[in-house]
Structure 1
Amino acid sequence: MSEKNRDGKRTARQRLAMEREKQKSAEKRRRALIVGASVVCVLGLAAVIGVIAANAGKDDGGDTAGPVVAPSGAQGEDSLVIPAGRAGAGPTLTIWEDFRCPACKNFEQRYRSTIHELTEGGQLKVEYRLATIIDGGMGGSGSRRAANAAACAQDAGKFTPYHDVLYDSQPPETDDVFGRNDKLIELAGKVDGLDTPAFRRCVEDGTHDSWVEKSNETFRNSDHTGTPTVLLDGRNIYRDGSLTPARLKQMVQDANKG
């Protein structure tokens, strides 16, 4: 073989080797781009998940972040209790309620007249504590909006009658009509002297929303399992289902004798 032919074959092999090196380099770059893109996708997905997690648990009423403004006359730790009855009256009945809760409505309808009789007679003090568990379970904002409106009624000294109107007007559990401020203001018209500009502003501004959330947080952190939870001087008297209006009256009378 001539020297010229040998040089030609070496040159061809060199060109082939160089081409293969170029292909290897290109493949490495392609793989690096794929890996980089994959990392970006994972980071993007993580960002989306983070946004979803940050918004989880928010109801249709929006963020309730803000200063905790307790209603006028609220008592107890963190001012989360709305009292009814004379201060210093006999035993204390604590009622945890949710204005969207059908079982709470049943309790109110059955025991309301007895509770009013005992509080008006100076034999019983009632502590109302508000929760929003139906909002959490069914969605919506009716529990919170109604609780805020009830706190606004407390500011006006009209909590008890407005509380009773809300339960008398309670919609089906799945209907979030109490999430509408105009409906809550309309119901205030059933309570003498409540539908005022101050009450309307309080409802529309959600003045006590953060207070309601604080109250519900306290309920969630307790050992109570549902609403209504009814305690007489700290003892659960409603959980076993044996309570009756007559028995409640007798228990209160016995406590006053003791």
Structure 2
Amino acid sequence: MPPRFVAAGVSDNNPDAKRAARDRLIQEREQHKAGERRRRQLIVAGAVVGVLALAAVIGVIAANAGGNDNAKGASTAGPVVAPTGADGKDALAIPVGAVDAPSTLAVWEDFRCPACAAFENGMRSTIHELETKGQIRVQYHLATLIDDKTRGGGSLHAANAAGCAQDAGKFPAYHDVLYTNQPDEMDDAYAKNAKLLDLATKVPGLDTPAFRSCVENGTHNSWVVKSNEAFQAGHFNGTPTVQLNGESIFPTKGSEQISPAAFKKWVAQANKGKKAGKASPAS
């Protein structure tokens, strides 16, 4: 007969004691598992907040290092052609979300900016959730801060391509693809239209002759330059600059650090007693 393993200190002839010992072991295991789950959740939440805080510092540094030179090798001559549906002052914002949403989130971004990628990748699902629920409308303002700093062209070319995606009704998806595939800050990969066109294949229905022509011709280049001029005129600290109903919330709102949970709370406070938006943006 194979040997039987009995809990230490428990008589083989006392089934009640064995059962109690077994129950204690099970309870201890469950408590350990629960503790591990809480620890992982705290680590993840802390990582998001930490990345966003670091991103704020990087954004300020980038702003202080920036200049006003035009992007190298980019054609910015010609009329200012705003993307379809652009709104705000001088039609310099690309809107996402219900036009009658009770709150507006203004985001100034640069597609080459690592701080912007940290913000977008950390807050993306939360922002999309609140857009879908009609709680916020987001207005994206595109800047070329990194081009100015490095005398490159990727910020401009990527922003133009994003404007072309807006023309095709695919801006939100392409915007997210640009950030999830962002190259290193000093790698000016987005200055190459071939790279931007290749990324467009990740968005169903975007890679069309019209989109390719818009990207290759720099249709919205002058509009991007004008948007960047508005960013410079605003004397913002850096990218991303994020404002909820005109109040800065990045990296903090008052003394509270931004995080997905904090952002949801701030939006709920701003929207208290107000109806969710339902009206679709005009195309």
TM-score (normalizing by structure 1): 0.77
Aligned partners of 2:210, 2:77: CA distance in 1, in Å?
Answer: 22
Q: Does structure 1 conserve the Cα–Cα contact (< 8 Å) formed by 2:75 and 2:221?
A: no
Q: 1:98 pairs with 89, 98, 110, which one? A: 110
Q: Where does residue 246 of structure 1 map in the other structure?
A: 261
Aligned residues: 203
Larger Cα-atom Rg: 1
Q: Partner of 2:84 in structure 1?
A: 72
More helix by share: 1
In structure 2, the residue corresponding to 1:125 is in which secondary structure? strand
**Counterpart for residue 132 of structure 2:** 120
Give the corresponding residue for 1:132.
Answer: 144
Structure 1 counterpart of 2:260, one-letter code? P
CA contact (8 A) 2:75 2:218 kept: no
Q: Once superposed, what is the RMSD of the aligned Cα atoms? A: 1.2
Cα deviation for residue 133 of structure 1 reads 0.4
Does 1:194 pair with 2:209? no
1:148–1:88 Cα change, 3 Å: same
Q: Which SS does the other structure have where 1:153 is aligned? A: helix
Q: Distance in 2 between matches of 1:82 and 1:114?
A: 19
Q: Percent identity?
A: 59
Amino acid at match of 1:200: R
* Distance in 2 (alpha carbons) for counterparts of 1:71 and 1:57: 24
Deviations 1:107-143 (A, max 9, x none): 0111000000000011111010000000000121000
Instruction: Give the aligned residue type for 1:94.
Output: A
Describe how 1:96-245 pairs up with structure 2 within 5 A: 96-240=108-252, 242-245=257-260
5+ residue gaps in structure 2?
1-67, 274-283
| Whole-angstrom CA distance in 1 between matches of 2:200 and 2:92 | 22
Cα separation, 1, equivalents of 2:216 and 2:138: 28
For 1:122-173, what per-residue CA distance to the aligned partner results, in whole angstroms no more than 9, with x for missing partners? 1111010000000000121000000000000000000000000000110000
CA deviations on 1:35-65 (whole Å, 9 max, x unpaired) are xxxxxxxxxxxxxxxxxxxxx9243223412
TM-superposed deviation, 1:253: 1.2
Post-superposition CA distance 1:4-55 (Å, at most 9, x none):
xxxxxxxxxxxxxxxxxxxxxxxxxxxxxxxxxxxxxxxxxxxxxxxxxxxx
TM-score scaled by structure 2?
A: 0.70
User: CA offset at residue 223 of structure 1?
Assistant: 2.2
Q: Structure 1, unaligned stretches of length 5 or more?
A: 1-55
Q: Does the 8 A contact of 2:243 with 2:250 survive in 1?
A: yes
Q: Secondary structure at the match of 2:257?
A: coil
Relative contact order higher in (CA < 8 Å, ≥ 6 apart)? 2
Query: How far, CA to CA, are the matches of 2:74 and 2:221 in structure 1?
Result: 10
Cα deviations across residues 73-112 of structure 1 (Å, max 9, x unaligned)? 0001110010000111121000000000000000011100
